[in-house]
């Protein structure tokens, strides 16, 4: 069977959609189709990928406008007569073809206070029930699809004010760690702009790891920020005792 | 000459998987200024795909476990060919390296008492693998990554590929690299260099490895004049996906068997009982009844034969298929559905559940999987000193899969994550020490010029498509140097590789230098051909069957060959293979290996 696939190619200011026809094999995923095109027709076609098993989060792209890992998206999920269109993630600056510059994410990560262990004698004791939630956040493969679909980043390009869903769960994973001593709430409020999230849950729907980004991380963290900084009694107490936020 | 940027550092770490990251942290703690170069984005290296766990004799689940038993299991699994010094250091230090990760924020699965949980795995006497479901590698790389990026004197260079090691007076002084995204060149001037580049799996068609695994470190070290050892030993993991074709080779974690999964042939027979080698007979169940009591966790129960070492299980599946008892797509059935509850499977093996659901439309909580051998891990690599991780070239170090000695003829599952932590740290410390104690030498302009010419050569005219050459290489390795080998086939393969090598200069890179995968592949192929030739030539010399190396024309152990490693090194007339005697193991340690309980 043959089918058509359109790939966005080129660099900023010189973009085009190239159409290819490929021979489809059973079970083929979008990344296989791209590799086939690379090997036969377009050797310099740029696509970022690594594991081809949904574990590294490198091959993120927009397939027919939807955020997808191209290695986990089967061609058979789409009607045979439909031309598939693959484009790079829109939220990040384009480098070439399907590859974007995601380095901003790595800068944001460096701004987060790292894990600070509670030193004690002997091996740490933590129970599974205590770490289940943290482990959910640590499943993140950093595909940055949640960042790609987040309105605050995608439509409003507020990268200077908002860290994005990926780093909300990163922070939540540290804050909810039973043995972590770090303080991150002020930073989360002032620099990483947690208040800017208006809970549309696009990130949650996009997550290939099915992490409850909004419900399990962002909302609880918003509550913690509110408790810490906007509790009227606490505010009054701080005024009286001379502590400031 | 082409423009290039110059970066000065004390220690250059090539590769940012687990070994490279751990090395960078250690070197930085030692006070060195570190440049950490990564072919991919940070956190995407192959470590991320390690699933089952990290082996360390913590004794949390079975208190009889200790480093001596771990040492014994490693040597037995290696078919007595591992470097005993490395195996000893590894077994002793692994628990500390795992506990350290926990202090850096890693969150392992817990026992009921709240300690780090440990699971059973092939060849390990007791439950020993600290794990996080089936995504242990992700947990480890993320922990190391987040720790490393907050260290002031580590600078990370992402999507940057080293194409040549620079030397001066037989000493390593740096490397030439190119940025993948821009195609621009960069020279790292370094006091010492650590190769932590991973494996070689992309030389094979059916593999669990990612595109990065092109034997870069192996080839860079060889070209720099360093010795490689154990190159004939490639681990074929027994359980890769076999269907659909596009995912053939994708890994199915050994954790499936560790958590009770069984292997069954087309006749419904649990065939592994027919393949128990003498050396493991005393600790392996002989009947379903015995094996079932192990699954129930009964004290003193013997381990099921599905948990024999990977070489044994891979060959058994192959034999079943060859003798007509394979599954519809040429593998064996791996059944966990009838052994554990759906809840348990989804909790302990979540990524396997999703992988099969999404890629094969199969629910592993209801149906058996189909699995078969896949190229997985390179036991062979850069010869290193156990205590320093130093290669045979001054200033050049290696750790992780690119280094060799630790696993001999067969690696135990879970021993790679612990290997890269233990020896990553040692490499980082010793490379930093070397850089501090030896005054820095700048690379010669002439050598840089030559390296640059080689790196840009694919942009000159040619008529060979690198993707085509890669496909041919994979076919050669698959059919001539695969899971079972003969002298005749290996010789044929070597001749084909030599022919292919001659075509490399004719490869062309179409287009510009900016993010050009065709160009990158041209350069990677040089490395793959060197490692493939080294592998095949060492395999030809080892006229016996041992561990992962199976010769149909020499089906048994050869006691004399069991006392030597094969060393591959550049000689005056090209690549040479020489035999080198193993280090003699002290009697006390040898006693551990022979005993059932230590």
Two tokens at B490?
Answer: 């290996």
Mutate to test the interface with B, among A13, A68, A104, A115 (most CBs of B within 10 A): A115
Give the neighbor-by-neighbor strand order of the sheet with B234-241: B234-241, B369-378, B332-335, B262-264
Residues in A closer than 8 angstroms to B471, CB to CB, are: 39
Q: What mean pLDDT is reported for chain B?
A: 96
Residues in B closer than 8 angstroms to A47, CB to CB, are: 517
**Is the CB of B133 inside 8 Å of chain A's CB atoms?**
yes
CA-closest candidate to residue B77, choices B250, B272, B310, B234: B310
Could you say which of 3.30.565.10, 3.40.50.1980, 3.10.20.30, 3.50.50.60 is the CATH number of the domain covering A2-100?
3.10.20.30
For tokens 């062309």, the residue is: B508
> Would the CB atoms of B110 and A127 count as touching at under 8 Å?
yes
Q: What is the pLDDT of residue B592?
A: 96
Show me where the domains of chain A are located. Answer: 2-100, 103-234
Residue B135 has pLDDT above 90, yes or no: yes
Answer whether B344's CB lies under 8 Å from B219's CB: no
- How many Cβ atoms are within 10 Å of A242's Cβ, its own excluded? 6
Q: What is the pLDDT of residue A239?
A: 82
Say which of A114, A124, A139 has its CB closest to residue B135: A139
Residues in A closer than 8 angstroms to B250, CB to CB, are: 52-53
Two tokens at B379?
Answer: 């036991």
Task: Pick the residue from chain B with its C-alpha nearest to A57.
Answer: B44
CA-closest candidate to residue B401, choices B250, B200, B163, B252: B200
Instruction: Dihedral sign for Cα A25, A31, A33, A38, please.
Output: negative
Please list, in sequence order, all residues whose beta carbon lies within 8 angstroms of the beta carbon of residue A7, skipping any fewer than 6 positions away. Answer: A17, A18, A20, A34, A37, A45, A85, A86, A97, A98
Q: What mean pLDDT is reported for chain A?
A: 95
Query: What is the distance, to the nearest Å, from the Cα of residue A169 to the centroid of all Cα atoms in its chain?
Result: 9
Kindly report which listed range (A229-233, B401-405, B441-445) carries the lowest average pLDDT score: A229-233
Q: What is the pLDDT of residue A244?
A: 57
Coil, strand, or helix at residue B532? Answer: helix
Say which of B43, B212, B465 has its CB closest to residue A43: B465
- How many Cβ atoms are within 10 Å of B266's Cβ, its own excluded? 14
Concatenate the DSSP letters of all residues of B19-74 into one string. Answer: HHHHHHHHHHHTT--EEEE-SSSTT-SGGGG--S-EE----SS-TT--HHHHHHHH
Concatenate the DSSP letters of all residues of B96-137 into one string. Answer: HHHHHHHHTT----B-TTSSB-EE--TT-SS--EE-STT-HH
CA-closest candidate to residue B564, choices B369, B408, B433, B407: B408
Asked whether the bond before A69 is cis by omega within 30 degrees of 0, the reply is: no
> Would the CB atoms of A55 and B43 count as touching at under 8 Å?
no
CA-closest candidate to residue A218, choices A173, A175, A172, A181: A172
Q: Please state, for a pLDDT cut of 70, what percent of chain A lies above it.
A: 99
Average pLDDT over residues B197-222: 96
For tokens 């192929």, the residue is: B525
Average pLDDT over residues A212-222: 98
Integer Cα distance of A80 and B560 in angstroms: 60
Residue B298 has pLDDT above 90, yes or no: no
Specify the higher pLDDT residue, B279 or B442: B442
**Is the CB of B158 inside 8 Å of chain A's CB atoms?**
yes
Q: Please state, for a pLDDT cut of 90, what percent of chain B lies above it.
A: 93
HSE value, Cβ hemisphere, 13 Å, CA-based, for B559 = 0
Residues in A closer than 8 angstroms to B110, CB to CB, are: 126-128, 131
Two tokens at B421?
Answer: 């932590």
**Per the residue annotation, which of B97, B119, B237, B315 is the catalytic one?**
B237
B407 is catalytic: no
**Is the CB of B149 inside 8 Å of chain A's CB atoms?**
yes
Average pLDDT over residues B171-192: 98
pLDDT-based confidence at B541, cuts 50/70/90?
A: very high
User: Over the stretch B266-286, which tens digit does the pLDDT of each residue have?
Assistant: 999 999 999 999 888 988 999
Q: What is the pLDDT of residue B40?
A: 97
**Is the CB of B359 inside 8 Å of chain A's CB atoms?**
yes
Average pLDDT over residues B316-328: 96
**Is the CB of A134 inside 8 Å of chain B's CB atoms?**
yes
Query: What is the distance, to the nearest Å, from the Cα of residue A159 to the centroid of all Cα atoms in its chain?
Result: 13
Rounded to the nearest 5°, which phi and psi values hold at A134?
-60, -40
> Would the CB atoms of A50 and B139 count as touching at under 8 Å?
no
Query: What is the distance, to the nearest Å, from the Cα of residue B443 to the centroid of all Cα atoms in its chain?
Result: 31
Class of domain A103-234: mainly alpha
> Would the CB atoms of B518 and A124 count as touching at under 8 Å?
no
Q: Which of residues 168-207 of B touch A (CB under 8 A)?
A: 181
Average pLDDT over residues A89-107: 98
Q: What is the pLDDT of residue B296?
A: 86
Q: Strands A14-23 and A2-11: what pairing?
A: antiparallel
Integer Cα distance of B198 and B48 in angstroms: 12
Two tokens at A155?
Answer: 């439509």
User: Over the stretch B357-415, which tens digit does the pLDDT of each residue have?
Assistant: 999 999 999 999 999 999 999 999 999 999 999 999 999 999 999 999 999 999 999 99
Average pLDDT over residues B167-183: 96
Domains of chain B: residue spans and CATH:
1-51+134-233+379-566 (3.50.50.60), 239-373 (3.90.700.10)
Per-residue DSSP letter, B460: S
> Would the CB atoms of B212 and A50 count as touching at under 8 Å?
yes
**Is the CB of B520 inside 8 Å of chain A's CB atoms?**
no
Average pLDDT over residues B430-454: 96
User: Over the stretch A21-52, which tens digit does the pLDDT of each residue have?
Assistant: 999 999 999 999 999 999 999 999 999 999 99
Per-residue DSSP letter, A180: B
> Would the CB atoms of B41 and A48 count as touching at under 8 Å?
yes
Q: What is the pLDDT of residue B69?
A: 97
Mutate to test the interface with A, among B358, B370, B471 (most CBs of A within 10 A): B358
> Would the CB atoms of B246 and A28 count as touching at under 8 Å?
yes
Q: What is the ipTM of this complex?
A: 0.95
Integer Cα distance of B318 and B124 in angstroms: 23
User: Over the stretch B509-520, which tens digit does the pLDDT of each residue have?
Assistant: 999 999 999 999
**Is the CB of B102 inside 8 Å of chain A's CB atoms?**
yes
Q: Strands A2-11 and A84-87: what pairing?
A: parallel
Give B363→chain A minimum CA distance, Å.
16
Integer Cα distance of B591 and B598 in angstroms: 9
Task: Pick the residue from chain A with its C-alpha nearest to B137.
Answer: A55
Please list, in sequence order, all residues whose beta carbon lies within 8 angstroms of the beta carbon of residue B240, skipping any fewer than 6 positions away. Answer: B206, B208, B248, B249, B250, B251, B252, B371, B372, B373, B374, B376
B257 is catalytic: yes
Facing residues of B566 across strands?
Answer: B579
> Would the CB atoms of B41 and A102 count as touching at under 8 Å?
yes
Task: Pick the residue from chain B with its C-alpha nearest to A115.
Answer: B105
Average pLDDT over residues A200-219: 98
Integer Cα distance of B443 and B172 in angstroms: 9
**Per the residue annotation, which of B257, B270, B411, B480 is the catalytic one?**
B257
Residue A245 has pLDDT above 70, yes or no: no
Facing residues of B35 across strands?
Answer: B12, B155
Residue A238 has pLDDT above 90, yes or no: no
């Amino acid at each position: 069977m043959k089918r058509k696939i359109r790939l966005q190619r080129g660099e900023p200011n010189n973009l085009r959609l190239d159409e290819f026809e490929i021979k489809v094999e059973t079970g083929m995923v979008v990344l296989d189709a791209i590799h086939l095109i690379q090997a036969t027709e377009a050797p310099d076609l740029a696509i970022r990928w690594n594991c081809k098993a949904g574990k590294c989060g490198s091959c993120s792209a927009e397939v027919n406008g939807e955020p997808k890992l191209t290695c986990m998206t089967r061609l058979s999920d789409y009607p045979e007569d439909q031309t598939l269109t693959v484009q790079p993630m829109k939220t990040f600056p384009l480098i070439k073809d399907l590859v974007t510059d995601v380095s901003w994410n790595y800068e944001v990560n460096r701004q987060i206070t790292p894990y600070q262990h509670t030193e004690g004698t002997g091996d740490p004791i933590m129970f599974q029930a205590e770490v289940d939630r943290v482990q959910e956040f640590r499943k993140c493969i950093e595909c940055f699809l949640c960042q790609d679909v987040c309105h605050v980043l995608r439509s409003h390009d507020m990268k200077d004010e908002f860290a994005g869903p990926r780093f909300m769960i990163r922070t939540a994973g540290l804050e909810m760690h039973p043995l972590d001593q770090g303080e991150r709430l002020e930073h989360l409020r002032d620099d990483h702009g947690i208040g800017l999230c208006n809970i549309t849950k696009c990130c949650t729907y996009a997550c290939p790891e099915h992490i409850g980004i909004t419900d399990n991380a962002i909302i609880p963290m918003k509550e913690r920020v509110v408790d810490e900084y906007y509790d009227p009694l606490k505010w009054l107490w701080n005024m009286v005792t001379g502590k400031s936020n | 000459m082409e423009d290039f940027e110059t970066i000065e550092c004390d220690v250059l770490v090539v590769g940012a998987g687990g070994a490279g990251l751990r090395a960078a942290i250690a070197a930085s703690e030692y006070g060195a200024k570190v440049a950490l170069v990564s072919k991919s984005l940070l956190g995407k290296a192959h470590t991320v795909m390690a699933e089952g766990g990290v082996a360390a004799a913590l004794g949390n689940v079975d208190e009889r476990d200790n480093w001596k038993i771990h040492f014994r299991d490693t040597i037995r699994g290696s078919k007595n060919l591992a470097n005993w010094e490395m195996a000893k250091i590894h077994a002793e230090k692994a628990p500390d390296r795992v506990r350290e990760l926990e202090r850096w924020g890693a969150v392992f699965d817990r026992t009921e008492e709240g300690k780090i949980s440990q699971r059973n795995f092939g060849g390990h006497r007791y439950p020993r693998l600290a794990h996080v479901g089936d995504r242990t590698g992700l947990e480890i790389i993320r922990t190391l990554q987040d720790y490393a990026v907050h260290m002031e004197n580590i600078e990370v260079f992402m999507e940057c590929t080293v194409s040549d090691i620079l030397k001066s007076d037989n000493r390593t002084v740096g490397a030439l690299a190119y940025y993948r995204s821009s195609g621009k060149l960069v020279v790292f001037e370094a006091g010492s260099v650590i190769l932590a580049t991973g494996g070689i799996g992309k030389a094979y068609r059916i593999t669990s490895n990612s595109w990065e695994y092109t034997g870069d470190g192996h080839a860079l070290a060889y070209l720099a004049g360093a010795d490689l050892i154990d190159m004939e030993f490639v681990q074929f993991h027994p359980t890769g996906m076999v269907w659909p074709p596009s995912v053939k080779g994708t890994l199915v974690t050994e954790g499936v068997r560790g958590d009770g999964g069984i292997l069954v042939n087309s006749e419904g027979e649990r065939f592994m009982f027919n393949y128990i080698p003498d050396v493991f007979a005393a600790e392996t169940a002989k009947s379903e009844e015995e094996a079932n009591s192990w699954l129930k966790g009964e004290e003193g129960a013997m381990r099921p034969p599905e948990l024999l070492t990977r070489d044994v299980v891979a060959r058994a599946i192959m034999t079943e298929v060859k003798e007509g008892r394979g599954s519809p797509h040429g593998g064996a059935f791996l059944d966990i559905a009838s052994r554990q509850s759906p809840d348990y499977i989804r909790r302990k093996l979540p990524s396997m559940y999703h992988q099969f659901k999404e890629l094969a439309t199969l629910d592993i909580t209801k149906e058996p999987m189909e699995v078969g051998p896949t190229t997985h891990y390179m036991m062979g690599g850069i010869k290193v000193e156990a205590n320093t991780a130093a290669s045979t070239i001054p200033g050049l170090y290696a750790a992780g899969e690119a280094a060799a000695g630790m696993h001999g003829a067969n690696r135990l599952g879970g021993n790679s994550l612990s290997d890269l932590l233990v020896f990553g740290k040692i490499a980082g410390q010793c490379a930093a020490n070397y850089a501090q104690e030896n005054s820095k030498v700048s690379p010669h302009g002439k050598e840089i010029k030559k390296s640059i010419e080689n790196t840009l050569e694919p942009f000159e005219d040619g008529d060979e498509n690198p993707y085509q050459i890669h496909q041919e290489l994979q076919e050669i390795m698959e059919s001539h140097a695969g899971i079972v080998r003969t002298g005749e086939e290996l010789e044929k393969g070597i001749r084909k590789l030599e022919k292919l090598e001659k075509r490399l200069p004719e490869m062309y890179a179409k287009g510009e230098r900016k993010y050009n995968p065709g160009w990158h592949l041209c350069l990677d192929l040089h490395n793959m051909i060197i490692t493939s030739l080294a592998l095949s030539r060492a395999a030809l010399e080892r006229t016996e069957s041992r561990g992962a190396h199976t010769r149909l024309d020499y089906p048994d152990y050869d006691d004399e060959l069991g006392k030597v490693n094969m060393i591959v090194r550049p000689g005056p007339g090209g690549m040479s293979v020489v035999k080198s005697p193993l280090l003699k193991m002290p009697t006390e340690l040898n006693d551990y290996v022979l005993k059932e309980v230590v």
